[in-house]
Amino acid sequence: MSKSLKTLLKIVGTVVGVLLLLAIVLPFFLELKTYKPRIEAAASKASGMEVRIEGNLGIGLFPSLRVTLEDVRIRNRGSELVKAEKARIGLDVLALFNKSLRIRTVVLEQPTLSIERDRNGRFNYEKSEAAPRPVPNLTLANVSFSDGTLRYVDRQSGISVEAAECNMDASRLQLSDTGHPGILRNLAITAEIVCGTARTREHAASDLNVTVAGQNGVFDLKPFTMRAYDGQGAGSVRVDLTDAVPRYQVSYALSQFRVDAFLKTLSPQHVPEGSMDISANLSMQGKTVKDMRPTLQGQVTLRGKNLILNGRDLDQVFDRFESSQTFNLVDVGAFFFAGPVGLAVTKGYNFASILQGSEGRSEIRTLVSDWKVERGIALSQDVAMATNKNRVALQGRLDFVNERFDDVTVALIDDKGCIRAQQTIHGTFKKPVVENPSTLKALTGPVTRLLKQVGSLFPGGECEVFYAGSVASPKK
């Protein structure tokens, strides 16, 4: 057979194939155009949600058969769950020969996915009790979206998160009726999600990258990486929905983040400069944030070296204690040590006198803040900082269940770890009671005189050691 004849046969075969495909697809396409309301009704019935196609419908044959829907919206429980500028749905051609519709791929362009939790604890993707339906069986080889926005709003706790510039590629997505209530307990998924930015009301992050894998109500977000405050974070999250009460395991570390960027939400002036590391390994369970607090367990650690505080010379302040009115040790403790367990403890009380100086400079040579969390209460393990000449340490508990300070004591200590001056705080986070420095109450003048007074109380130099942790005395 000549080369030209082979070429001619290929062309004829291609034309015949296209005509055959058109003969199959064209009636389907015409029905698609004519009966768009029926398609919406069928999709709404299958999903148990309100599905609307506000824009046009189109069809493409190359490189594969696909249907294009413009301005697609899905609503449920009174809120918009999904909005997409365009949805391209890839169809199985062979299934059309059997007059059946099988979806192979779904590609969304510029979608907005909004998950909301109302004040009663119900999510907007949950089905209403008035129209209970079995979970639809759905298997997709590939689902993806580009330039999307992901939103989460919890109206019970007031938490809101928005991620933008998001792309997702799911190599597996399967929804089947396993007999368990809820969509997530019937979902199997393997996907990678990348977002340019993410923001809450107070904090922001960038370069999010997470791999999601799970089925039968157990999902792992691992690895989970992002950048925040110029630092690099990495960790994992496990969500277990197999029981009536959801369980969570979070392990995360943020390395070399800028403490000035992190703390500027507290005060725009004179925040410390430098880099720190923070890590957390926590477990919790519950349906709401309030329910989770009493179950919170784990460890939280903060580390920093060579931090700079402009506007105040702490060593000079420590050496010139004149009265409890001029400076509060609690300010030092709250400002530097509260970070690991959340800014919540600093919002009710203005720990700001440490930031109001206009002269001097302090170097925090070492900062360690280790906390053990048990049943929603953070217990200090090793909490201290060292300047060029002094050490300050903290002991006590932060009760997040009842939102209270539990006899937190901040102390200026000597090279043996004994107390030179101390101050305590107790009461609620919103209205704490800050006691006057006990050993300074009736004393004035430099600390050298104070040390003589304290030394006379402990013959032979013996005292009860307040701090014996990892932060060494600058005098050693």
Which whole-number Å values give the CA distances from 256 to 260, 280, 281, 307, 366, in the listed order?
12, 15, 18, 12, 14
The residue ranges of every structural domain in the chain are 229-476
Q: Write out the chain's pLDDT in tens, 476 residues.
A: 555 544 444 444 444 444 445 445 555 555 556 657 777 776 777 667 888 888 888 777 666 677 788 898 988 888 888 899 988 887 765 555 555 556 778 888 999 999 888 888 788 877 765 545 555 566 666 888 899 999 998 888 788 899 999 999 988 877 776 555 667 777 888 999 999 999 988 788 999 999 999 988 899 999 999 999 999 999 999 999 988 899 999 999 999 998 888 777 655 566 678 898 999 999 999 988 888 999 999 999 999 899 888 877 888 877 775 444 456 677 676 666 655 444 445 554 555 555 565 677 888 899 999 999 999 999 999 999 999 998 999 999 989 899 888 888 888 898 899 988 888 888 887 777 877 766 433 333 344 444 444 444 444 456 789 999 999 998 75
pLDDT score recorded for residue 19:
43
pLDDT at 133: 55
Residue range 309-360, pLDDT digits in tens: 887 788 887 777 544 445 667 767 666 665 544 444 555 455 555 556 567 7
The pair of structure tokens assigned to 322 is 């004149």
Please answer whether residues 474 and 386 qualify as being in contact, where contact means their C-beta atoms are separated by less than 8 angstroms: yes
Contact 221, 237 (CB under 8 A): yes
